């Protein structure tokens, strides 16, 4: 009971902040469930007059609510299907910049992590150069057998794990209630949205995992001539501390410096797009936070990425889905694009391929009537997700993260070259993947994997037979004896169900406005 009260109280406070900032002011009550209309009316009454027309009111409110909600806002920016297109665009502007914590706290974290003095680990250790909601970065120097070299040291913000655990429990509670009472919430899989956010944050707050991601990413890209990943200093890396090679180069956002150094900006734009697509389709492992602040051009002219806290993965099926979708739009084969959705199991078989192909044509044809620099690959995927509700297509969180990253990557590339032809830039990478994976070599590779899987299945047959025999015996015994519950057990179950229904209804009324607005803002 007290746990539910705590969730409700904190969610009510969050709702109050959102309401005061005017986040719910433009929501039409006619499109909400009846239970949500009274809380919505109250939310509109308490909105600050000056906040009602503020175009950044949602981002401002999320920033006020603290680190967990900043991360939630950034994550929801990738889900226009949940919060609406307008709200998603506003949340894209949400900046994860907070005041740095003191140098002495950073040093204390390092010394606690390694049980030694910071001077024994670093030759020099300076003030922070960047601070965010989860961590901050310091520039330092270490001594090696080859001399002194510079490193970047990322340190977890003190107390942030406890705060995130509490807020994520509240978000799980809200999502569970929403899915219990709203079919639309179940279709959007709000609980899975929170679960994906929780897993992402959990990995972000264990820097050993980020170090492993950087190491795997570096291994995948070691033969890429125009891309590199900084090396990890494993001796100075722990759960709360990450030390990596310092990238000596130019920020991709510093266009005047790039021009002065003689770089061709359109070529850099092509490298950004092709590197991202190559990593996503070839490796199934991509940097999911490729904004300009995380990208550099090193002294050898290679694109270098930093900050590996958010990485995306695609399985073989998702990679094929992505490649065939993009290739289908490039060649205007809308029937094939529709078939790929059905083959992947993303669209229920209750719908017809022809109808889905017609909907996809409505997206593709307007794009092909525009000039190359007006065509947005990210916009195409956004439109593709917009039609999912019409065909009962459940959200695929891994594809949503891919789409969000593509929006960011495309924005970076367009900054470097406003007239970038996205399709001609993507075509060589997509065609190469299709040739390698769907051509003769790819078919032979798939056949080899299938034979290997068949061998493992045959090898496990004796164990499976034993388990089946034991299960049959158990079922036969239950069939003869039945399953009995004591009166005390039956009474306890009844009390639990009554209690759950009572608190569920109370909680629903308390936070209905918050949940409805999250679903329908924009």
Report the catalytic residues.
289
Going by C-beta distance under 8 Å and a sequence separation of 6 or more, which residues neighbour residue 166?
10
- The answer to whether residues 82 and 76 touch, using CB atoms and an 8 Å cutoff, is yes
Neighbours of 80 (CB within 10 A): 21
Going by C-beta distance under 8 Å and a sequence separation of 6 or more, which residues neighbour residue 437?
319, 320, 323, 445
Distance CA 306, CA 230 (A): 7
Nearest to residue 68, comparing CAs of 146, 220, 172?
172
How many angstroms separate the first and last alpha carbons of the chain?
35
Neighbours of 212 (CB within 10 A): 17
Distance CA 232, CA 145 (A): 17
- The answer to whether residues 394 and 73 touch, using CB atoms and an 8 Å cutoff, is no
Range list of β-strands (E), 145-280: 147-156, 227-228, 241-245, 249-251
- The answer to whether residues 337 and 345 touch, using CB atoms and an 8 Å cutoff, is no
Is 305 buried (19+), middle (13-18) or exposed (0-12) by CB count in 10 A? buried
Residues counted in the chain: 522
Alpha helix (H) residue ranges in 282-392: 316-331, 334-343, 353-368, 377-386
Strands 285-287 and 249-251: unpaired
116 secondary structure, DSSP code: S
- The answer to whether residues 313 and 398 touch, using CB atoms and an 8 Å cutoff, is yes
E strand or H helix at 12: helix 2-20
Going by C-beta distance under 8 Å and a sequence separation of 6 or more, which residues neighbour residue 238?
113, 114, 207, 208
Range list of β-strands (E), 310-407: 311-313
Neighbours of 402 (CB within 10 A): 24
């Amino acid at each position: 009971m007290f746990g539910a009260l705590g969730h409700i109280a904190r969610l009510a406070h969050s709702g109050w902040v959102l309401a005061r900032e005017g986040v719910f002011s433009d929501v039409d009550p006619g499109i909400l469930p009846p239970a949500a209309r009274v809380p919505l009316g109250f939310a509109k009454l308490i909105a600050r007059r000056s906040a009602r027309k503020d175009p950044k009111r949602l981002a401002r409110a999320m920033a006020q609510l603290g680190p967990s909600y900043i991360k939630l806002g950034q994550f929801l920016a990738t889900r226009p299907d949940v919060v609406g297109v307008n709200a998603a665009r506003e949340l894209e502007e949400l900046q994860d910049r907070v005041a740095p914590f003191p140098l002495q706290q950073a040093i204390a974290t390092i010394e606690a992590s390694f049980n030694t003095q910071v001077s024994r680990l670093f030759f020099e250790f300076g003030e922070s150069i960047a601070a965010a909601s989860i961590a901050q970065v310091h520039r330092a120097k270490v001594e090696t057998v080859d001399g002194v070299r510079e490193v970047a040291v990322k340190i977890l913000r003190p107390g942030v794990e406890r705060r995130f655990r509490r807020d994520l429990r509240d978000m799980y509670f809200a999502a569970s209630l929403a899915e219990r009472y709203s079919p639309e919430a179940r279709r959007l899989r709000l609980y899975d949205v929170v679960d994906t956010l929780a897993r992402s944050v959990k990995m972000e707050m264990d820097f050993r995992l980020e170090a492993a991601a950087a190491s795997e990413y570096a291994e995948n890209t070691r033969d890429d001539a125009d891309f590199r990943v900084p090396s990890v200093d494993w001796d100075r890396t722990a759960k709360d501390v990450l030390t990596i090679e310092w990238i000596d180069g130019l920020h991709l956002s510093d266009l005047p410096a790039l021009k002065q150094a003689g770089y061709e900006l359109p070529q850099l734009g092509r490298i950004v797009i092709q590197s991202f697509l190559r990593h996503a389709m070839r490796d199934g492992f991509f940097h999911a936070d490729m904004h300009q602040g995380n990208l550099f051009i090193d002294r050898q002219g290679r694109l270098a990425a930093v900050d590996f806290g958010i990485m995306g993965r695609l399985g073989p099926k998702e990679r094929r889905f992505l490649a065939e979708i993009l290739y289908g739009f490039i060649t205007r084969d809308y029937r094939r694009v529709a078939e790929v959705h059905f083959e992947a199991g993303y669209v229920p078989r209750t719908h017809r391929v022809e109808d889905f192909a017609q909907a996809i044509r409505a997206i593709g044809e307007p794009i092909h009537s525009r000039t190359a620099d007006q065509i947005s690959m990210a916009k195409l995927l956004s439109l593709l997700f917009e039609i999912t509700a019409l065909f009962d297509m459940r959200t695929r969180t891994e594809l949503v993260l891919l789409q969000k990253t593509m929006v960011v990557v495309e924005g970076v590339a367009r900054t470097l070259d406003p007239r970038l032809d996205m399709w001609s830039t993507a075509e060589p990478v997509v065609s190469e993947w299709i040739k390698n994976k769907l051509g003769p070599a790819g078919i032979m590779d798939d056949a080899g994997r299938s034979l290997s899987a068949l061998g493992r299945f045959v090898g496990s047959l004796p164990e499976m037979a034993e388990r089946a025999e034991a299960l049959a015996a158990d079922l036969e015994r239950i069939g003869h004896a039945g399953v009995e519950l004591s009166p005390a057990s039956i009474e306890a179950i009844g009390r639990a169900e009554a209690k759950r229904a009572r608190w569920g209804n109370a909680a629903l009324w308390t936070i209905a406005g918050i949940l409805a607005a999250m679903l329908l803002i924009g």
